[in-house]
Structure 1
Amino acid sequence: MSQYEFDDLLEKYLAGLCSPQEEKVVLEWYKSFINESEIALSSEEKQDIESKIWSNVYATVNREPVTTETPVIPLRPRKLYRLAIAGCAALLVAAGWYWASHRSAVQPRVLFTQEAIPKNYSFFYNEENKNREVTLNDGSIVQLQPGGAVYYPEMFSGKTRDVYLSGNAFFQITHDSTKHFIVHTEEGIVAEVLGTSFYVIHDKKTSKVEVSVVTGKVSVYERKKKNDSIAGLPANSIIITPNQKVTFKPENNQFVTSLVDDPKPVISATNGVPPARFIFEETSLDDVLATLEGTYAITIETDNQHFSNCHFTGDITKQNLYEKLDIICESIQASYEVKGTTIYIKGKGCN
């Protein structure tokens, strides 16, 4: 039956002119609409739509004007079904328009590492102007930025926990030593973790993908072929830790590691509280730099052994990492440079 023929049949049904056989076709379509729709909705969302259909039907019935001259005739179940199907058809048109308009914009299936997103995956698109939170069944949380989309299963049942991301998001992953958590991006870049928190940022203009770590460790690599195995980490994987980021540049197919723009104190795994104060009194530069390294989980190196003779006095508690380094270097007439994930202190040192 063509779409035009079905439209005529539906109009005929709503007018009450269908034969029993035609009526059966329409009713079967109605019953299958909610459960067999291709629109990616969870079972709870489908139940909510069906509930709204009937709520609208009964609201329409209750709004029908009733006068004292006109006897009230109870609405028959057959009429209710006709109204419900009318509401269902309207919802189908609206949902189809919404799905098509957003799907074309945020569902680049062919770009996802040359593999299709599993058919049983649910889909969430953030159309708002603020971050939206998606909680996965393992307790992991995805904070999806505006315009982003994430594909995920209702239940993680395989050897790994795989999700697919289009756009930008912050992930807080529940630790599970038996199942790695894997984020696939539309450019073919994969971020794989056990339990950690990290950002995945996508630059649409340049197609660059940036992964930065807040806690834990993340392995980032490119999955070049459709059938590449991800059971073990590929040789080209990059391991990044807190306050580090890796950027994939598609123009030269290269990963570039560096520090994040604003490194934050890393919460200690032992007591859960980072050092709160940076007050030094004639403290050796070696000890000052060691405190910064431990607090921010970074590496700081000096290019001159005479820096061991330097001392620092001051309160740099309120400054961020780079402001702290500016003050320290100014006090000893030195400078610093960030190369990759390491900070280098340069100068003559102290006598």
Structure 2
Amino acid sequence: MDKDKLPERNNEEKFLLKYFLRRIHNNEITQKEKNVIELLKQSYEPAKGTRRLTDKELKKSITRNRKQIMKKIGTSQYSKGKPIRHIPLVIGGSAAAIAMLLILLTFPFTKDPSHTDTTVIPSEFSVVEKQFTTGNEMKKIVLADGSTIFLNQATTISLRQGKFNAHTREIWLDEGEAFFDVKKEASRPFIVHTPNGISTQVLGTSFNIRAYAQLEEQVISVNTGRVQVYDEKENKIILDPDYKVSVNNGNNEFVAGKTDARNMSAWRSGTIMLEQATIREVAFRLKQAFNITLIYDHAVNDNERIVTSFTLDTPQEEVLTTICKLYNVHYKRNNNRVELIK
């Protein structure tokens, strides 16, 4: 790099920081940015006994992380005489918040190919309990450690006070389905808690958890790495890639088996995989994907299981016809109400 350009680059970075501060001072920030600033301010609360950084260490940390952030948001595209483009970065509403942002964060601003809504959780030391719930949309959550969570529809996850910090990373999947891509940190295990006292622990891996209350079982499948699944009675199982475990919601019985993990998490790109699915799961997925209410009563045995798949843009009539062939039944439709008939 040309050494003569270093002062110019530093000036650009300082100018951009001043630009964000000026936007805050002039009350030109959006409500979403205000929410992030408030979270940053609340999260700047050093734990008791934590050593504070010296002025020299603080300055060094800010300089190092500022360069990383500016590199990610494309500082090099700015030059004098050109208007400043909108940059998706928020600087805190106080000096402390700004320092915390520059020290702790490295935002992975990449475009999500599935166009899901993305939320960045700004501080791994936040004392704020946070909950995220999806409706009919999918959502992407980026945690402060760089781990990513993709939430399927009708899913709720929670971060609890004091449970995601320098020593542990714990998430609660209260309801629904999520895919986790976890950054490896040997000193900080990543644990996902699901209903009925089930927990899934990893160090660095990617895996999918389905834990809808409407279904009979939770299913954990592993894409990469290795995970350990256990319950409150210390029953546990270790899963390698392309293995899954189904946990009965009634008695917590573990049943392990082979799977194609890519199919299990294909919902992120709009593909619905029904793998050994009961009619209850079929009905649930049709409601989730197309808002179809399936009435099956005695037309299908609850223990019958099918294997098929469809995408969200597959014509509904095609999906219903395929399902009926697999169950050897017919259907009658009235708007969004579909009844299976023998």
Give me the TM-score of the superposition, normalised by structure 1: 0.37
Q: Which of the pair has more CA radius of gyration?
A: 1
Q: Give the TM-score normalised by structure 2.
A: 0.38
